[in-house]
Chains A and B, each alone.
Chain A
Amino acid sequence: MASVLAEDDSALAARGNATPEAVVVRFAGDSGDGMQLTGGQFTLSTALAGNDLATFPDFPAEIRAPQGTLFGVSAFQINFGSTDITTAGDAPDVLVAMNPAALKTNVEALRPGGLIIADSGEFSKRNLEKAKYAVNPLEDGSLAKWDLLAFDISALTMESVKPFGLGNKEALRCKNMWTLGLALWMFDRDREPIVQWLKDKFRKNEILADANIAALNAGHAYGETAEIAGPLRKLTLDPVPSAPGLYRTVTGAEAVSLGLVAGAQLAELPMFFGGYPITPASAILHNLVKMKEFGVTTFQAEDEIAAICAAIGASYAGQLGVTSSSGPGIALKGEAMGLAVMTELPLVIVNSQRGGPSTGLPTKTEQSDLYQAVYGRNGDAPIPVIAARSPSDAFDCAIEACRIAVRYMTPVILLTDGYIANASEPWKVPDPASFTPFPVTFLEDRNGPDDTLLPFKRDDRGVRPWIKAGTPGLMHRIGGIEKAIDTGNIDYSPAVHQSQTDARKAKVDIIAQDIPEQDVCLGKPGGTLAVVGWGSTFGPIHQAVRRARAKGLDVSHIHVRHVWPLPRNLGALLRGFDNILVPEMNTGQFKTVLRDQFLVDARPLTKTSGQPFAIAEIEQAIAHFFDRIPDNEGGEVDADATQLPSIKAVNP
């Protein structure tokens, strides 16, 4: 039977009439309805209310999809509560649908019994047709398994902004603020910060500011005064105690950019960023262009290849070269990565992974570039790989990538994904004084006997010196052809290639001695089941393991940041578990790496739908695991507790 662990878990409070510990709200509307803005401001108000939170925007790939269409729906989901929040939530409890298309594309995700707030004013015949509804779903009873509140938000908004004399179109644009006002009322939030924000945003157009504030207040007042029985009620979630300090929200793309800048500062180097526009990585380029005073040079190259090549060139000239892309672009950079391995120059390569192969799912998330990162180059070309687990973690990972790159004269791959890049979470702003600098020393004098220069003379860690092109007296040639030991002159004799291949591998292997040992982030360093993750699956794995442990299952969560080389104790740690489950948003890539490196029986739990794992999916997989253990009471999950059907993704 499963070992019973005495661990109280307060996150499992039942839903129902009691105030829940966490609520998931999804705002969905047409791309033009301003849902991302609404979500962003609701996020701030949530943070100010002291709730923990995580958010995830889900917007269409089309830039200006035709209004009212199914593929033009833009959504923003926020999970917030009085307990630790690590995911954007599974099934929403509340869906705000601004038009029929938004309802159609999102309603199935809503938990049974959840609340739909719909703008009935947008459910016109034309809009229903665009959303491929034969009959109005607000009227035909098809939404019976949910609570439905439909009222004419459009008309109520128009009414509220009437005094400002706006045109029809402009007036209707205030709908999102009306809706936000209602949401603020529902969760007992202060309107003042939003009012301030609106005043600032529309400081050049006072009328618009006032109209939006009026709409916000009207939405709030509607909640306050409308006599609606039943589902619409005010909820106050207790704040989560967090460490005192300054906080902000941060997306993964912001955190990577800030981390790269911090990393370059800690290395005391100017940074050169070569990029080429690609979703969802472009945000990093957009962020870095605004940070030039930190010695950042940005270069939008003619293609992905030129972007990385220019970054390598900058490293050759003594700057910290950085490039960034997503899977298809990373594929194009492969040959140049090999050159950086061969010439042993520092370089940071950020991959914001998206669904693949080929163009795949540009705006959706996946973790399917792990093989590409670890193995995806010609020749034996080992590159350290680091994976961020959350938006804020991407900051620390970016610094770590810079540190390893300059300390080991190697390209380093930093993996994030579409979820991390776009999702946001609260972040306690770190104090730069708490960072450990890793200043770079360039070779200034000849380092060989008899006043000779040995550009590839390795130190005790196997690392060659960094020589800045332009340094007097240290002229030398580097290139992609195999090179002699120490001198770096062309030499492809058998013994030399053997020796240099070994040296390049050893140099990367030794990094395992310079990274932290693998910890167990929840549970014990041994037992029945280890759920091992990497990257953005952190949130759902963590919550699922927490819930399973609360039920008494002997399961632990291990989350790996250093994907290559792996932490030195990881093999021994994994061998302390009877079973290993590896949830990944791919077909089982990290599972393969673990099997290969440690000969352990790692089992995959895979998902490639372009959506992050739901907590319930992992919880079900864990339960299934315990169900299969003979003479075990099982880990069956109460369907009502998680509100999601079990998935059949547990591969035997």
Chain B
Amino acid sequence: MNDMTPFQTTLKDWETDQEVRWCPGCGDYAILKAVQRTLPELGANPANTVFVSGIGCSSRFPYYVESYGFHTIHGRAPAFATGIKLANPELDIWLVTGDGDGMSIGGNHTMHLLRRNLDCQVLLFNNEIYGLTKGQYSPTSRPGTPSPSTPNGSVDRPAQPCAFALGSGARFVARGFDVSKELPSVLKAAYHHKGAAFIEIFQNCIVYNKDRFEDFAAPKGAEGNQLWLQDGEPMLFGSEKSGGVKGIRLNLDHLHLEVVDVPDGDWQASGVIVHDVTNRAIAHMLVEMPFGEFPMALGVLYDDPRPTFEETLLGQDAQVRAGKEANLAKLLAKGQTWTVAEDGPKL
């Protein structure tokens, strides 16, 4: 994000005149709406906002947002974003990518964007499948995923985007899902984080991977399946209806997280830990919690800003330039020179 004077807009101001061409029922619609609803609340200025994307279903996103937009090439959006931001750090950049674009062909660029900490929001739509190329398994597909390229089921172990992000040095890692009411609040937190803010958004591919995330995203039983993390709040989930309030405790003997029952709301007695968004070690554990044994960790998992790439690099450049005169004639004549006069050359 940037410190910008709030700009008055409505959701309508962020819609383009282009017909949205995702499949009916695609989770992308919900994410688009969440973004378009959030931007006015952030006071964002369309002229200072750039949506940059790679290739894939999600990467059509920029065409539908009335701001600056660059639909680039497969996997390379982080590199374009880096050039744009370094050329004009005033621009607020939203990078839209998918599990194929950002974790497979563009995994390298995602890693470097995160470790450099370029100030931008990275929205990685994870539908665990290749949609635009008609249904091949993706790097986040679960083992055994049958697809046109893996008719007998995929065999490779899936990448975990949030674990990858943390491992790459990301200073903000969050999770949400397409139809979640909480998504705008996660987007806002990402916007307000100065630096690279990585959000994995589980997204339903209605055609090739329908309801893949229903196990935790379905409204029914959501309470017991979703752990929405709040900074400073105990890690509690579930209700009497879902089979009792539970919490997450740190097993100090073996240094891992575990689910504990919280009778009578006394979470302290159960040893439930309080979420601290700056705790990197716990964040590593949260992103690795396997769903089933644990609830799905959602919301802001980690948020601990560091100086950004562009302010550090451009700041260093400004220091180097300070007091130096941009004299082209002098530059061209640098080094060992000699003068040819009528009577021959001399130093």
Contact = CB atoms under 8 A, between A and B. Distances in A.
B149 interface: no
B80 A312 contact: yes
Contacts of A246: 333, 337-339
B94 to A, nearest CB: 13
Contacts of A481: 71
A48 B328 contact: no
B345 interface: yes
Contacts of B83: 272, 274, 299, 309-317, 321
Nearest to B18: A489
Interface stretch (B46-54, B170-178, B179-187, B284-292): B46-54
A243 B340 contact: yes
A305 B337 CA distance: 38
A316 B84 contact: yes
Given A432-B328, A475-B47, A310 B337 contact: no
A293 B68 contact: no
A313 B333 contact: no
Contacts of A243: 340
A476 interface: yes
Identify whether the interface residues of A are mostly helix, strand, loop, or mixed.
mixed
Contacts of B108: 302-303, 306
Contact of A310 (B46, B62, B80, B332): B80
B340 A316 contact: no
A430 interface: yes
B328 A313 contact: no
B261 to A, nearest CB: 47
A280 interface: no
Interface residues of B, number: 63
Interface of A: 44, 47-50, 193, 196-197, 239, 242-249, 258, 261-262, 265, 270, 272, 274, 291-295, 297, 299, 301-303, 305-307, 309-319, 321, 335-336, 339, 343, 429-432, 468-481, 489-490
Contact of B84 (A44, A242, A302, A317): A317
A129 to B, nearest CB: 40
Interface of B: 16, 18, 46-48, 50, 52, 55, 62-63, 66-74, 76, 78-88, 90-91, 108-109, 111-112, 313-314, 317, 320-321, 324-326, 328-329, 331-342, 344-347
A306 B112 contact: yes
A245 B339 contact: yes
Contacts of B87: 270, 272, 297, 313-314, 316-319
Given A314-B86, A339-B72, 7 more contacts: A196-B347, A262-B328, A272-B83, A305-B79, A317-B91, A479-B62, A490-B18
**Interface-centre pick from A245, A247, A307, A318 (highest chain B CB count, 10 A):** A247
9 contacts: A50-B340, A50-B344, A301-B82, A303-B108, A313-B52, A335-B73, A339-B73, A470-B50, A475-B68
Nearest to B55: A480
A429 B321 contact: no
Contacts of A312: 72, 80, 83
Contacts of B341: 244
A47 B338 contact: yes
Contacts of A310: 79-80, 82-83, 86
B73 A293 contact: no
A497 B299 CA distance: 44
A239 B87 CA distance: 49
A468 B329 CA distance: 29
A239 B345 CA distance: 9
B80 A309 contact: yes
A475 B108 CA distance: 30
Nearest to B48: A470
A406 B189 CA distance: 39
B71 A477 contact: yes
A481 to B, nearest CB: 7
Contacts of A430: 332
Contacts of A309: 72-73, 76, 79-80, 83
Given A294-B326, A309-B83, A247 B340 contact: yes
A470 B88 CA distance: 8
Contacts of B74: 335
B257 to A, nearest CB: 33
A297 B88 CA distance: 11
A557 B37 CA distance: 67
A305 B338 CA distance: 41
B16 to A, nearest CB: 7
Contacts of B48: 470
B336 A249 contact: yes
Given A292-B317, A475-B68, A248 B333 contact: yes
Nearest to B89: A317
Contact of B68 (A48, A262, A265, A470): A470
A242 B80 contact: no
Contacts of B85: 313
Contacts of A291: 331
Contact of A480 (B73, B81, B112, B324): B73
Contacts of A343: 70
